[in-house]
Amino acid sequence: MHGRRTIALFVAVGFLLGVVVASIVVPPVLTWYNEPGKISPDKQVETVCNLPDVIRYATGHLIRGQLVGGIVGAVVFFAIGLAVERRRQSTAAAMSG
């Protein structure tokens, strides 16, 4: 039971760290990657932007980036948690046997 809690803690921490990293990385990537016309490809590029479209586009991509970052962090920390728990179990077995 203790091992499951350890792994779950690692997954939760990994998810949160992934979201934090994505929150820092995604906004600059969005500004670098965007070109005029990418928000509404079926429309002609306008001098004045349609603010609701820009907000939906930016927040949608930020939230997707945070989700991806959270999942990647959870998977990486799941693997680390498994390794830590296996090492802990092998150490405990060696000490008792």
Condensed to tens digits (0 to 9), the pLDDT of residues 6-55 reads 899 999 999 999 999 999 998 887 776 666 556 566 766 655 677 778 88
Angle between helix 51-96 and helix 2-33 axes, rounded to 10 deg: 150
Nearest to 77 by CA among 31, 27, 8: 8
pTM, two decimal places: 0.73
Per the structure block, which two tokens stand in for 50?
A: 């349609």
Give CA–CA dist 17/9, Å, rounded: 12
